[in-house]
A = this chain, B = another copy of it.
Amino acid sequence: MPYPAKTSPEAILETALELLEQEGQANLSMRNLAQQLDLKAPSLYRYYADKKALEVAMVGYATDLLRQQIESGIEGLVPRKALKKAAEIYLEFTRAHPNLYALTMNASRFPYHPSGTGKALWNVLLAVVGRVTKNPDDTAATVALWAFLHGFANLEHSGMFGPSGPKGGFEVGLSALLEGFKTRAT
């Protein structure tokens, strides 16, 4: 008869995030998570209906955090600088939380849900790009930037660049896209 409760939805979420980053997605099991919280696995189901519900919460946290970091990081910058800064923050985020980012983007398992935190993040990127291309709803250009950022982060995290590394590929690609987007504005 433990009072008060030994845990909470927030504590579970926090611990899950830590466990994900430290042990990787493959080791994020309800058993391991419970162990970290000095609990047994069945107790977790009082707070999250199933594992997917917990993952949805984790993805929501991730997209919200990234959006916040970008929004505050680009404040007061002119369009071009803002886009570059947003790209850098995005990449830094994928480096700081590689497994959380992978979970977030591996979300083909979650049904598309337009009114989520992912939509808010998308809108921030859309606005940043729009200020450069002079088109506030430039889906195509935003998709292009997103693809580049995501691809670079993913290849880097997967170790696909090998021991020699990307050799300035990020800066070159970002500059080229910016150049192309400027042309697009005229």
Contacts and interface: CB of A to CB of B under 8 A. Distances in A.
A159 to B, nearest CB: 5
A172 interface: yes
Nearest to A114: B162
Contacts of A184: 172, 176
Given A159-B108, A162-B114, A179-B179, A173 B148 contact: yes
Interface residues of A, number: 46
Interface of A: 105-108, 112, 114, 139-152, 154-155, 157-164, 166-173, 175-177, 179-181, 183-184
A165 to B, nearest CB: 9
Nearest to A122: B162
A166 B154 contact: no
A105 B102 CA distance: 13
- Which one of A150, A151, A152, A183 has the highest number of Cβ atoms from chain B below 10 Å of its Cβ? A151
Contacts of A161: 143
B176 A112 contact: no
